[in-house]
Structure 1
């Protein structure tokens, strides 16, 4: 599950990108996104996010912004915040037993550290740059998910003689 401030720019972009790439790879994964804030609840993705995804041949799914719920911490194996501030807020909301599920998005983007900037205050150029960053992070996340799935589903080797 991807988390950003309003669930209209960064987290729905990561959501749709992971769904798109996982489907293309034949990898089954449950994906969702939500917000820390409730200010955008009920709204669709930002038109600039939709336009950038479309420019790259990806259609944004029917999305309705929502706020993260306590039940999300039990439902998802990974809760991925776009900024350190999102992760801190998530840790305050998370039941103690689920705090280890919270990660910063850029942990999955090779060579990129820190926060995924909020493009909402900028122009289309900012949405292009954030899309590129999210694209790179989703590639890293998908590779890790596939590796983890392979490790858990690999048949046991017979003992060596």
Structure 2
């Protein structure tokens, strides 16, 4: 499984999403490659925003990713590309080859509290970055639970659907 998280500049939301998705998958025992990118190249090569790094550290994560712009190859390399908001998703749909459209989703489609978007905290303060982290953590855990359930043998999926132990 290969998952790409995507936002606008790849310095705030998508690096946090990359780290939260990676950790949630590891906790479920799912082996996956997780990366992040942006729709623009304004910050190419830069470390994530210091506020993203600070919030990540407070939650036991280290962000060392360097910003990059999504490439045409990414649509063939990744099994799932998770956008942070509708604008990112629209840009992905515009760039994606026809066969890759079913690999695109909003990360909050996996949020157990309901779908939505992840607001861009760039012009906000540390509290805005913390709020984004909380949304991403919840959506990442939802994604990991769904992938673990899909990978489980049918008897485990049926038990989970019936409310029994999975």
> Secondary structure at the residue paired with 2:152?
helix
1:21 is matched with 24
Instruction: Check the 8 A contact 2:28/2:144 in 1, yes or no.
Output: no
Which whole-Å CA distance do the structure 2 matches of 1:113 and 1:27 have between them? 23
Which region of structure 1 is more displaced relative to structure 2, 84-93 or 141-150?
Answer: 141-150
Alignment of 1:132-143 (within 5 A): 132-143=134-145
> Secondary structure at the residue paired with 2:60?
coil
2:104 is matched with 102
TM-score by length of 2: 0.86
Instruction: Check the 8 A contact 2:72/2:96 in 1, yes or no.
Output: yes
> Secondary structure at the residue paired with 1:31?
strand
Match 1:56 to one of 55, 59, 62: 59
What is the root-mean-square deviation of aligned Cα atoms in Å? 1.5
1:9 is matched with 12
> Secondary structure at the residue paired with 2:82?
strand
Which whole-Å CA distance do the structure 2 matches of 1:33 and 1:116 have between them? 15
Sort the Cα spacing of 1:151 and 1:30 in 2 relative to 1 into closer, same or farther, 3 A. Answer: farther
Sort the Cα spacing of 1:151 and 1:85 in 2 relative to 1 into closer, same or farther, 3 A. Answer: farther
* Alpha-carbon displacement from aligned partner over 1:55-112 (angstroms, at most 9, x marks no partner): 112222x211000011111111111110011111001100001111110111011223
2:119 is matched with 117
- Which ranges in structure 2 are unaligned for 5 or more consecutive residues? 157-166
Larger Rg: 1
Paired positions, count: 152
Which whole-Å CA distance do the structure 2 matches of 1:148 and 1:113 have between them? 20
